[in-house]
Amino acid sequence: MDKRKIGFFYLHLSSKENVEDIGNAENSLPLLVKYICGLSKKIDRKYELTQEKFCFIDSFELNEQTKCMELLFKSAKHSYRAPLLNKNTILERANPKHIDEGEQTKTHILLKFKDEDAIVFLETGQNCMTMKNIVDYINDFISRYNESSDKPIDGKFSFQMMVRDDYREVLNKMERVVWAEVFINKTLLASNAFNFSNHTEEVQENIILKLKSEKKKSLKTLMYDMVNRLNGTESSINRIKFSGKLDNENDCIVDTSVFIKREYIEVIKNKDTGECDSKSVFAQLRSLSNDY
């Protein structure tokens, strides 16, 4: 068995100018991935990450019942073929690979769609693709997809890191809060605040209030008030999701409904190649996603 660290992110569809949430990633991303994996030649899926590294989606699986999508990326570094050294004898021999070849690295990713966005469970490690690599990859195919689709994607995909600390502590560390979504119980529609009809059976359980800060302003003070009211006995607020910049300038997102319980999974490793068994990795990622 081998351990793999898992990174947690939010993936959403945003405008081309900024990271403001504008679309439905749950609908658009599966269509884009199906298009990429449906290209007639596998080499057409290739994307150059750097001058010496390329990647592509090798396979995907979408489960509409669990709202989960599994992606297997493969990547390789090339243009380097130094002699090989044996760890037991320290003898060297010529490297048999070609200069345009590289050892393949697999990166496993599971996306769980929730409220039109996606929670991302990403295998991390040495030589694995980063979340930025993956977002750059899928965004590169949007224009080609739009040319052949009657359901074009307007915007780009963006990601933000999910924090694992207490959300009040994270709020304290934030320099700015730039946007927020407040999930409020639908019974508020019939309260004195709105005085609407009491017939809310056809309305989803939560009303989503979307807030955006003015340019160079912050919602941080307002978020303190919201968080303090979240767990009140008579509060109509069920959940808060907000995003901003930490004091180290990193973007992050906080979702009060999500608590990261573990960051590592144990997987089966191939003794001959050193690679992790993909079935084992995806089984562990599915198990992990059940908590969210």
Query: At residue 33, does pLDDT exceed 70?
Result: yes
DSSP 8-state symbol, 15: -
Interval 208-229 mean pLDDT:
88
d(CA 283, CA 246) in angstroms, rounded, equals 33
Backbone φ and ψ for 291, nearest 5 degrees, come out as -80, -5
Cα dist. 133→14, 25, 127 in Å? Answer: 17, 18, 11
- pLDDT score at 196: 62
What percent of the chain clears pLDDT 90, i.e. is strictly above it? Answer: 46
d(CA 16, CA 143) in angstroms, rounded, equals 12
- pLDDT score at 253: 81
pLDDT digits (tens, 9 = 90+) for 162-193: 766 577 778 888 888 988 988 888 777 766 56
d(CA 201, CA 230) in angstroms, rounded, equals 24
Report residue 112's pLDDT band, with 50, 70 and 90 as the boundaries. very high
Per-residue H/E/C for 80-106: CCCCEECCCCCCEECCCCCCCCCCEEE
Query: At residue 231, does pLDDT exceed 80?
Result: no
Residue 183: beta bridge partners?
208, 239
pLDDT digits (tens, 9 = 90+) for 262-280: 688 888 989 898 899 999 9
